[in-house]
Amino acid sequence: MTTATIDKAAPTRKVKYGSMSRDRAWALRWSYFFLVIFAIFFLTPPIYMFITSLKSSAEISAATNPWWVFHPTLENYAGLLTSNQFLRFFWNSAIVSIFVVTITMLISVPAAFALSRMRFWGSATLATGVFLTYLIPETLLFIPLFKMFAVIGDWTGIQLINKWYVLLILYPTLTVPFCTWIMIGYFASIPKELDEAAVIDGASWIQTLTRIFIPVAFPGIIAATIFAFTVSWAQFLYPLVFTTSTDQLVMPVGIITSLIKGDVFNWGQIMTGALLGAAPPLIIYAFLMDYYIAGLTAGATKG
């Protein structure tokens, strides 16, 4: 009787198993289909830029096949990398981004810790408020902000407009709320018993933050750092509005203001500049991704 049951069950199970793997095969086929389409879609512009960056101005204006380089040259790269102006933009961008990332992390990590763990009066409302500020676009803010800095300049004599360091005040308004929000999420996933254990072990709030929370939520800190860096490296509107002198410009604005003269577009150098400008975020992603993927609280609890 037992054998009969098994014989009966076996084909049923096989069919079920087969259909499951067929589902999976189809799911994979669709995933590949869409992934390939997206990859083509998003990789075409940079490839086009790369091809163009290898052409001389003469070849670009000759309007030959845009997807092929007949006389490859590095003159655009050489031109930019020896241009003091371009190096200045690059340097400004780097300084601004590094400062902004530092400022952002110094504010948003303790803020997230306080909002997620210290449970003071109004902390929940404040946490929501922090996120809401992130939803207001900078296109809405740049005129009032400009006016504000102008007024401050009139009253105090401190001129912030057209100085690169004005960006150190502006960018954190974009990065701090979002990074705080990310960190609140990461801190919330740390079991409450972990800070209770630390408190009983004799740790102060600051020690709990620096010795337990920051190391445990390190992947979250990496994610927030990447975000803050990308935002400040790629930000376009604020530097366009608030900085004008060439020595104060950051890269995205610098490229278009210095390489477009009237209606003359220096396409080769524009493409080269954009490619070189995209390199630092790529390098940062590549380095930090490993940490980002590492597990968060594995082993803290029963698992």
Partner 1 sequence: MADVTLRKVVKRYDEVEAVRGIDLDIADHEFVVLVGPSGCGKSTTLRMIAGLEDISDGDIMIGGDVVNDVPPKDRDIAMVFQNYALYPHMTVAENMSFGLRLKRYPKAEIKSRVDEAARMLDIVELVDRKPKQLSGGQRQRVAMGRAIVRNPKVFLFDEPLSNLDAKLRVQMRIEIKKVHQKVRTTTVYVTHDQVEAMTLADRVVVMNHGRIEQIGTPNELYHKPATKFVASFIGSPAMNFIPCRLEDLAGKLHVRLTDRIAFPLPPARAARYQGIPRADKLLLGLRPEHITEAKPHPEPGVEAFETVLDVTEPMGMETLIYFTLEGAQVCGRVNPNAGAQDGAPLRLAVDLNNMHLLNEVTGVVL
Residues that bind partner 1 (CB under 8 A): 191, 193-194, 196-204, 207, 211-212, 215-216, 218, 295-303
Q: Which residues contact 28 (CB under 8 A, 6 or more apart)?
A: none
Q: Which residues contact 59 (CB under 8 A, 6 or more apart)?
A: 69, 70, 71
- Kindly list the distances between the CA atom of residue 177 and the CA atoms of 7, 75, 97, 189, 295, in Å, as whole numbers in the listed order: 62, 43, 17, 19, 25
Contact 239, 254 (CB under 8 A): no
Q: Based on CB atoms, which residue is closest to partner 1, 275 or 300?
A: 300
What is the closest distance, in whole angstroms, from the C-beta atom of residue 192 to partner 1 in the complex?
Answer: 9
- Kindly list the distances between the CA atom of residue 36 and the CA atoms of 31, 33, 182, 227, in Å, as whole numbers in the listed order: 8, 5, 30, 26
Q: Based on CB atoms, which residue is closest to partner 1, 109 or 251?
A: 109
Q: Based on CB atoms, which residue is closest to partner 1, 100 or 195?
A: 195
Q: Based on CB atoms, which residue is closest to partner 1, 193 or 247?
A: 193
What is the closest distance, in whole angstroms, from the C-beta atom of residue 300 to partner 1 in the complex?
Answer: 4
Tokens representing 253? Answer: 């604005």
What is the closest distance, in whole angstroms, from the C-beta atom of residue 110 to partner 1 in the complex?
Answer: 19
Q: Based on CB atoms, which residue is closest to partner 1, 208 or 258?
A: 208
What is the closest distance, in whole angstroms, from the C-beta atom of residue 120 to partner 1 in the complex?
Answer: 15
**73/80 Cα distance (integer angstroms):** 13
What is the closest distance, in whole angstroms, from the C-beta atom of residue 214 to partner 1 in the complex?
Answer: 10
